[in-house]
Structure 1
C-alpha cells in the first residue's frame, strides 16, 4: 500500500515536470524571434541606461540581507508555534515543545553572536586598518 502512495506522487511529479517542458517547448515554437539592439538594452524604468548595468557591491550588504532573511523566517516560524503551544500543553507535550523552541532560538542567537563578533553587522567597516596596521596607528609608510 505504501509503494502505491509513493508511485502516485512520483507520477504526479513527472507529469507536472513534463507539462512544464512541453509548455516551454510549444512557447519557443510559437513566439516570434526577431532580436534588435533596442530589445537587448537594460530596462531602467523607461529611461536611457547610463553606464554599465553590472556594478560591484560590497559583500557586507549580502551578509546583512541574509541575516535579515534568516531572522525574518525565524519570526515567521515562531508564530505558528506560539499559536499551537496551548494544544501541546493540553496533550502533555508542553515541556518538550518549550525545549525545542528554546533550542531553536539558542541556535539562532549563537549564529547572531557569531556574525556580530565577526563584525559583519558594522555598516562602516574600516578594512584598511586590517590590511595595513600602520594606517590605524597614525604612522606613515616607513621605507
Structure 2
C-alpha cells in the first residue's frame, strides 16, 4: 500500500512540476491580425478560412464514438461467459444493451439524428 501511495505522490508532484515549469517557460504570443489570418502566398484570402463547425456533425460523431465503445465493451464479455453463470451474464448484457437502446431512443426523440 505504501508503494502505491508513494508512486501516486511522485507522479502527482512530477506532473505538477512539469505543468508549472511549462507555464513559466512558455512565452505568451499576441494574437494580432497577421498571426490570425491564413497565409495564401502573400495575398488576402478570398473567403474566410475559419468556417463554422456543424454541431450536427459533432453529435453524429459522438454517437458513433459511443457505439464504438459499446462494441469494445461487449466483445470481451464473450470471454467472461466461460467464467460466470449464464444467468448473471445474460442479465448484465441485457441491462447494458437496454441502457444503450434507451439512449438511442432519447436521441431519436430529441431529433439529434436528423441531418437536415
Relative to the length of structure 2, the TM-score reads 0.70
Aligned-pair CA distance for 1:108: 0.2
Equivalent position SS for 2:115 = coil
CA deviations on 1:103-127 (whole Å, 9 max, x unpaired) are 1001101111121232211212xxx
Report the CA distance shift for 1:67/1:29 in structure 2 as closer, same or farther (over 3 A). Answer: closer
Aligned-pair CA distance for 1:28: 5.9
Between structure 1 and structure 2, the one with the greater Rg is 1
Aligned partner of 1:83 in structure 2 is: 79
Aligned partner of 1:66 in structure 2 is: 62
Uncovered stretches (5+) of structure 1, i.e. residues with no partner: 125-143
Aligned-pair CA distance for 1:25: 4.4
Aligned ranges 1:92-107 → 2 under 5 Å: 93-107=85-99
CA deviations on 1:53-91 (whole Å, 9 max, x unpaired) are 3x4333222221221111110100011101221222xxx
Aligned partner of 1:10 in structure 2 is: 5
Aligned-pair CA distance for 1:16: 0.7
In 2, the alpha carbon distance for the partners of 1:52 and 1:75 equals: 37
Uncovered stretches (5+) of structure 2, i.e. residues with no partner: none
Aligned partner of 2:17 in structure 1 is: 22
In 1, the alpha carbon distance for the partners of 2:104 and 2:21 equals: 48
Number of aligned residue pairs: 110
Relative to the length of structure 1, the TM-score reads 0.59
